[in-house]
């Protein structure tokens, strides 16, 4: 029996979670389901950004190291954007 590598399994699960989150957002019957679907979709999308850049053959330890690096890059980009926004607004005046 051939086992699927960890990163490939996580990518498949994240895609399924994104579809689930999208389905919960698209339904119009329950606001509670919408409120579950939106953060689920956002979290799964950010994780998919990270795992989409991890080789599907990566095992657990390497996947976690690369996931941490990806999250550091994402946090850095957001922090840089927050810090530069006032400067850019002021420069455009």
**pLDDT on residue 57:** 85
**pLDDT on residue 16:** 96
Cα-atom radius of gyration of the chain, to the nearest Å?
Answer: 17
**pLDDT on residue 76:** 95
For the chain, 93 residues long, give each residue's pLDDT as a single digit of tens. Answer: 678 888 888 999 999 999 999 999 999 999 999 999 999 999 999 899 888 888 888 888 988 999 899 889 989 999 999 999 999 999 988
pTM for the full predicted model? 0.74
């Amino acid at each position: 029996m051939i086992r699927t590598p960890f990163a490939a399994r996580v990518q498949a699960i994240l895609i399924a979670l994104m579809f689930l989150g999208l389905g919960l957002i698209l339904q119009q019957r329950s606001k509670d389901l919408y409120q579950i679907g939106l953060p689920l979709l956002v979290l799964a999308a950010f994780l998919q950004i990270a795992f989409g850049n991890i080789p599907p053959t990566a095992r657990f330890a390497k996947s976690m190291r690369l996931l941490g690096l990806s999250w550091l890059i994402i946090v850095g980009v957001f922090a840089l954007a927050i810090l530069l926004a006032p400067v850019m607004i002021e420069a455009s005046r």
